[in-house]
Amino acid sequence: MDVALVTGANSGIGRATAIRLASGGFRVYGGMRDLASGGKLAAMAEAAGVEVRPIRLDVSDEELVRSAVAQIIEDEGGVDVLVNNAGITENGVVEESPAESFQRVFDVNVCGIVRCVAAVLPHMRERRRGGIVNIASIAGRVAMGAQAPYATSKWAVEGLTEGLAQEVAGHGIRVALIEPGVTKTPIFAKATNVPASTHAYEATYRRMFQFFATGLQSATRPEEVAEVVHGALTTDDPKLRYVCSWGAAELAAGRRAMTDEDWVALGGLESDEDYYREFSRLTGLDIAPAAPGAGRPAPAPTSA
């Protein structure tokens, strides 16, 4: 039975993935910073008739990462699959986002992956087998305004994963990158906390929040992303990138089809109506607010 380690397993995509892999025959360890927060994971695993073994793991702490991986290897003989899911978000435009914001997000979203990969790879290479899945975001393919720290970190995950896949291909190790769009996870509860300190970018924030508000009306359940992760690990025809969840395929295809100048010009449109109309033309996604009384309001900016 293959052994899997899923980071950030106490909520959202990580929790759904841990349960899906356990249901698919993997022996799963769910990494989490606080073992006391794993109650819902345990309850959901029990309801699914599977077991997910909780293990203390903070991806921003190299010692905890190494000790967790060492413990799994000691108990199970190896780690066959690593799913790097743990992540945080901090949104804002570049001018209003302090360097410390970028550092915090990078430490988890990028360096956290590096720490975990470095811990499992020696053992995987020795056995010439293994699978690594990095959960990125469509924001790592399409950088919308006002998501600077988060999107920048996810673009870094793209480069890290593409290079890693080539590096370990000769060692029998499969690497995959999952690029979800809008998914029903707790991370979106924090998406409206933005600096908004200069009041110069109100339109940029408003349009980002409207995108989220529209997406959350049809947001994909984390279990659907978990299914993609399972498929990426078990398919006989593996790919490097997998897009999934609301808006991801449309954004990826639309961005490929348009020019860089088209994308930049979109941000320069003065009226929201023109912006939403052009966004729809370029991506095929209608994110315009519904008519009054029809719901789908855009959330207002909240200062961090």
By annotation, the residues acting in catalysis are: 150
Q: Name 303's bridge partners.
A: 194
Q: Which amino acid is at 194?
A: V
Q: Outline where 110-201 has alpha helix (H).
A: 111-127, 148-168
Cα(6)–Cα(28) distance, integer angstroms = 7
Cα(125)–Cα(171) distance, integer angstroms = 6
Closest CA to 228 of 162, 164, 87, 134: 134
Label the pairing between strands 52-56 and 27-32: parallel
Closest CA to 138 of 244, 262, 276, 8: 244
- Quote the tokens at residue 50: 């599977």
The helix/strand/coil state of 47 is helix
Number of residues assigned to the chain: 304
Cα(42)–Cα(242) distance, integer angstroms = 28
| Rounded CA Rg of the chain | 20
Cα(88)–Cα(297) distance, integer angstroms = 25
- Which residues are CB-contacts of 72 (< 8 A; sequence separation ≥ 6)? 3, 5, 29, 55, 78, 79
Count of other CB atoms within 10 angstroms of residue 30: 30
Handedness of CA 153, 158, 163, 167 (dihedral sign): positive
Count of other CB atoms within 10 angstroms of residue 269: 16
